[in-house]
Amino acid sequence: MAAMIWTITIVTAFNALSVESQSLTTAQEAFQKGHAYHTGEGQQADLDLARRYYLQAVKLDPSLFPALSNLALIYYGTKDYKKAKYYYSKAIKAARASDEISLQQEAKVSSDLGGCHYQEGNLQEAERWFRAAIAHDSSLVEGHYNLIN
Query: By the 8 A CB rule, do 9 and 15 touch?
Result: no
Name the band, by pLDDT with cuts 50, 70 and 90, for residue 19. Answer: very low
Q: 47-90: per-residue pLDDT in tens?
A: 999 999 999 999 999 999 999 999 999 999 999 999 999 999 99
**What whole-number distance in Å separates Cα of residue 62 and Cα of residue 27?**
9
**What whole-number distance in Å separates Cα of residue 63 and Cα of residue 48?**
21
Half-sphere exposure of 13 (CA within 13 A, CB side): 6
Q: 88-132: per-residue pLDDT in tens?
A: 999 999 998 988 889 999 999 999 999 999 999 999 999 999 999
Q: What angle do CA 134, 125, 136 make, to 5 degrees?
A: 20
